[in-house]
Chains A and B, each alone.
Chain A
Amino acid sequence: MSDIPHPLKTALHPAHLALGARMMEFGGWDMPVQYAGILPEHEAVRTTSGMFDISHMGQIFVGGAASLDWLESLFTNRAARLTPGFGQYTLMLNPDGGVIDDLFLFRLGAAQWFLVVNASKAAEDEAWLRTHMVPDIQLTAPGAERAAIAVQGRQAAEVVEQLLSLKLPPHNGIAHLPEQDTYIARTGYTGEDGCEIFCPAKDAVPLWERLLAAGVKPCGLGARDTLRLEKCYPLNGSDLSPQRTPLEAGLGIFTDLSKPAFVGQDRLIHQKIAGVPSLLRAFEMQGKTPPPRAHYPVLASGEVVGEVSSGTLSPSLGTGIGMAYLPPSLKPGDPVEIDIRGKRFPAILRKKPLYPQS
């Protein structure tokens, strides 16, 4: 099952086992894929509240007098736009403009920053940052000392505010609780309101148990994937890769081509002028079909024009959905076909997000 003989365990690992979670290896970690089932967990987040162990994600703290300029030179979004207490989605590119990782960058103070990166890329990201180190930068990656829980759903904010007796920061904001050495951000990966709580590892299980007692449903990576795909949030390694730029991935609003030079900028400017070779499009299957899955071929007018990067059955829509890099000439509303085990099934390109549909 796992290629990794000894996957890492988060501080919440015993809590997952106690709840009877089905575990799988993800990004080098032994993580819960589901507890009660992907469908009820998905439903909980869309209607009430659910929580996810996101301790596997990389947490990196950056500081120093040169930190703003340094981060601007490595990330696509304009960090200078952030006032302390706010964060932004941004990307770190290779010199060809391909994606190394997508991440959330929070500004904690004038020259203090907090980065949340993908589990599978955390080591690579840290190595890349250290390779590009300049004087007057401090970088720490506390690793197993830290944990994190995402509480997501229509009622998530209310539940957390009551339970912790605090007011959550606004959308994309981050608050610091210095006594608890904890940060709470109004962010997530499900498309619902909620927050992500970054705390010391020793505090994770007690917090998880308080949330459980408050009725928040434990949710695994299975539901996390269906929730994010309905919103067309990309998953690095599936929908993002070192061979694809953020413009191809449809993430242009998170790239600021007018700011000072950053790694990969030349390629993005070139693509802005010359056009992109492909675009990450969302599609919805028509009628009863098997769920589309990664690497299934996509056809237009009978010709293979790409392959599925992510696919699943949408629990909210009840149909198969997915994304694929396709020629830019194909637009929302156009019909395509997905080849599933040698049989072709009809699909239609849709505007993002897939749920709710505009």
Chain B
Amino acid sequence: MNVPEDLKYRTSHEYIRIEGDTGTVGITDHAQAELTDIVYVELPKVGAETQAGGTIAVVESVKAASDIYSPVSGVVVEVNTDLESDPALVNTDPYGRGWLYKIRFTSASELDSLLDPAAYSAKIA
């Protein structure tokens, strides 16, 4: 499974890519493989506020709906509208075009409680 070196991970299989005070959030390659064919993604609204660990989105396969938890607290500044027409991008390119939302985080210290790539790789091994 692909676990990029430049990301931080939540134990519930979300990743965050940090750029300044903003993070891009998606689900990991492992998560998309476990969920299988993704047929619908319910995204948050731009401007929505969330706490770390709060339910922020829903990813649905044919079989089940899975809650997505925000890795950090903050305000949603952008969502991936491409997923409305092509939710399978989460399967085909989870770390690229299959991203879910961008969040301006309020507390950089929350990042310390996330997993580094080695710890996440060990978790899914």
Binding site for B on A (CB under 8 A): 22, 33-34, 37-39, 222, 226, 288-291, 293, 312-313, 315, 341
User: Is B62 touching A39 in the complex (CB atoms < 8 A)?
Assistant: yes
Interface size range of chain B in the complex = 10 to 19
Write the nearest CB–CB distance from B4 to chain A, whole angstroms.
Answer: 24
Q: Is the CB of A341 within 8 A of B62?
A: no
B67 (CB) vs chain A CBs: closest residue: A341
Does the CB pair B62–A38 fall under 8 Å? yes
In the complex the two chains form, is A39's CB within 8 Å of B42's CB? no
Question: In whole angstroms, how far apart are the Cα atoms of A33 and B63 in the complex?
Answer: 9
Q: Knowing A38-B62, A291-B60, say if A313 contacts B36 (CB, 8 Å).
A: no
- Report which of B37, B63, B65, B85 forms a contact with A290, defined as CB distance below 8 A: B65
Q: Does B58 sit within 8 A of A, measured CB to CB?
A: yes
Bound complex: CA of A315 vs CA of B63, how far in Å?
A: 12
Task: Give chain A residues whose Cβ lies under 8 Å from the Cβ of B39.
Answer: 291, 313
A289 vs B58: C-alpha distance in the bound complex, in angstroms?
12
Interchain CB contact under 8 A, A341 and B63: no
B-side residues, CB < 8 A to A, are 36-37, 39-40, 42, 58, 60-63, 65, 84-85
Contact A37 B37 (CB under 8 A): yes
Which residues of chain B come closer than 8 Å to A22, judged between CB atoms?
36
Q: How far is the CB of A307 from chain B (nearest CB, A)?
A: 16
A293 to B64, CA, bound (A): 8
Q: Nearest chain A CB to B16's CB is how many angstroms away?
A: 24
**Which A residues are CB-close (under 8 A) to B61?**
38
Residues in A with CB closer than 8 Å to B40 are 288-291, 313
In the complex, what residues of A have CB within 8 A of residue B36's CB?
22, 34, 37-38
A313 to B88, CA, bound (A): 14
Q: Considering the complex of A and B, which 7 residue pairs feature the smallest CB-CB distances, nearest first?
A: A38-B62, A313-B39, A290-B40, A39-B37, A37-B37, A313-B62, A222-B63
Q: How far is the CA of A22 from the CA of B42 in the complex (A)?
A: 25
Task: Take A290-B42, A293-B65 as given contacts and tell me if A341 and B58 are in contact as well, using a CB distance cutoff of 8 Å.
Answer: yes
CB–CB B65/A222 < 8 A? no
A226 to B37, CA, bound (A): 13
For the complex formed, measure the closest distance between the CB of A297 and the CB atoms of chain B, giving whole angstroms. 15
12 additional contacts (CB under 8 A) given A34-B36, A38-B62, A313-B62: A22-B36, A37-B36, A38-B63, A222-B62, A288-B40, A289-B40, A290-B42, A290-B58, A313-B39, A313-B40, A315-B62, A341-B58
- Chain A to chain B contacts (Cβ below 8 Å), 18 pairs: A34-B36, A38-B36, A38-B37, A38-B62, A38-B63, A39-B62, A288-B40, A288-B84, A289-B40, A290-B58, A291-B40, A291-B60, A291-B62, A291-B65, A293-B65, A313-B40, A315-B62, A341-B42
Nearest A residue to B55 via CB reads: A341
| A161, B39: Cα distance in complex, Å | 36
The CA of A33 and the CA of B36, in the complex, are separated in Å by 11
Residue on B nearest A33 in the bound complex, by CB: B63
Which residue of B42, B58, B62, B84 is within 8 Å of A312 (Cβ)?
B62
Q: Which residues of B contact A37 (CB under 8 A)?
A: 36-37
Query: What residue of chain B has the Cβ atom nearest to residue A40's Cβ?
Result: B37
> Across the interface, which residues of A come within 8 angstroms of B85, CB to CB?
288
CB distance from B124 to the nearest CB of A (A): 16
- Bound together, the chains give a CA A222 to CA B63 distance in angstroms of 7
Q: How far is the CB of B91 from chain A (nearest CB, A)?
A: 9
* Closest B residue, CB atoms, query A313: B39
> Which residues of B are found within 8 Å of A288, using beta-carbon distances?
40, 84-85
Q: How far is the CB of B107 from chain A (nearest CB, A)?
A: 28
Give CA–CA (A265, B58) in the complex, Å: 46
B18 to chain A, nearest CB (A): 30
